[in-house]
């Protein structure tokens, strides 16, 4: 889910509730405060607020809260906040900013899993953003704890999709952040797609799900780009949907294409 900011740079809970209410029945499991949610620009209270809004909108059983942070201490606190409002599933990014070797990455996840045995945990691998690459051999070890129930792969982590899949237990799930895999993810042996484009145009993507070319067209226009997705949401909802992090300006031709896509040209 993207995070809506108003014209005064504040989190907009009403806009967040609104876009959650637009998700089609059966497709309302949501990842809160992930990369598309601009989590590095959110403080602890804001991340808790977003989780609370999501729980009220779709139910705690459909919410996965991202608790990745620059330290496990911060992640522990975010996990406690999520659990306090009934969330039982969390995503945890690898260490980031400072370099981390294989042993540190494994320890990161195993320590968190041991501290939070009541939570179902999804490691979140995004080497393009974190600078930390997890090799398949390391992956097999970090996925060992019983309460690590699945994984999300974004960016170059998808280059190891088959190798990672082959190292999962039968009870573990494999999600990708690659929207272009929407038509094929099940055939590829994955569980599903955590889609940045879906919250903006869910009906369009569901209508196109059996048409890989049409999905590629939509995804090519909207993602991976928070700025483009938020522009679509501005058009659709009439709300501000500002970004707090630095985003590229949209060219006039690109804005026109997005307007045509959402039927507001």
Residues forming the active site: 124, 152
Which phi and psi (to 5°) does residue 153 adopt?
A: -110, 130
The DSSP line for 96-156 is -SS---HHHHHHHHHHHHHH-TTSEEEEEE-HHHHS-PPPHHHHHHHT-STTB-EEEE-GG
- The answer, yes or no, to whether the previous bond of 247 is cis (omega within 30 of 0) is no
d(CA 247, CA 255): 14
Which of 113, 122, 124, 58 has the alpha carbon at shortest distance from 85? 58
CA angle 64–168–194, rounded 5-degree value: 30
In this structure, what DSSP letter does residue 247 have? -
Q: Tell me the CA end-to-end span of the chain in Å, nearest whole number.
A: 25
Burial status of residue 102 (CB atoms within 10 A of its CB: 0-12, 13-18, 19 or more): middle
CB count in 10 Å sphere of residue 207: 13
């Amino acid at each position: 889910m993207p995070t809506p900011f108003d014209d005064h740079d504040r989190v907009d809970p009403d806009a967040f509730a609104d876009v959650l209410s637009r998700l089609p029945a059966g497709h309302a499991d949501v990842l809160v405060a992930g990369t598309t949610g601009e989590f590095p620009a959110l403080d602890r209270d804001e991340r808790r607020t977003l989780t609370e809004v999501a729980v009220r909108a779709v139910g705690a059983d459909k919410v996965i809260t991202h608790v990745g942070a620059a330290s496990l201490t911060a992640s522990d606190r975010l996990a406690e906040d999520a659990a306090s409002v009934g969330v039982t599933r969390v995503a945890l990014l690898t260490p980031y900013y400072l370099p981390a070797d294989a042993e540190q990455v494994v320890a990161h996840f195993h320590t968190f899993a041991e501290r939070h045995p009541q939570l179902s945990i999804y490691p979140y691998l995004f080497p393009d953003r974190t600078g930390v690459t997890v090799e398949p051999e390391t992956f097999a070890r970090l996925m060992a704890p019983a309460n690590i129930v699945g994984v999300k792969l974004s960016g170059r982590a998808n280059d190891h999709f088959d190798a990672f899949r082959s190292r999962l237990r039968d009870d573990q799930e494999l999600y990708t952040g690659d929207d272009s895999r929407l038509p094929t993810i099940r055939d590829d042996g994955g569980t599903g797609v955590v889609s940045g484009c879906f919250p903006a145009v869910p009906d369009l993507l569901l209508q196109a799900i059996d048409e890989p070319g049409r999905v590629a067209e939509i995804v090519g226009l909207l993602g991976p780009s928070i700025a483009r997705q938020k522009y679509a949401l501005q058009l659709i909802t009439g709300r501000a949907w500002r970004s707090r992090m630095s985003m590229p300006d949209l060219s006039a031709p690109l804005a026109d294409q997005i307007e045509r896509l959402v039927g507001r040209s």
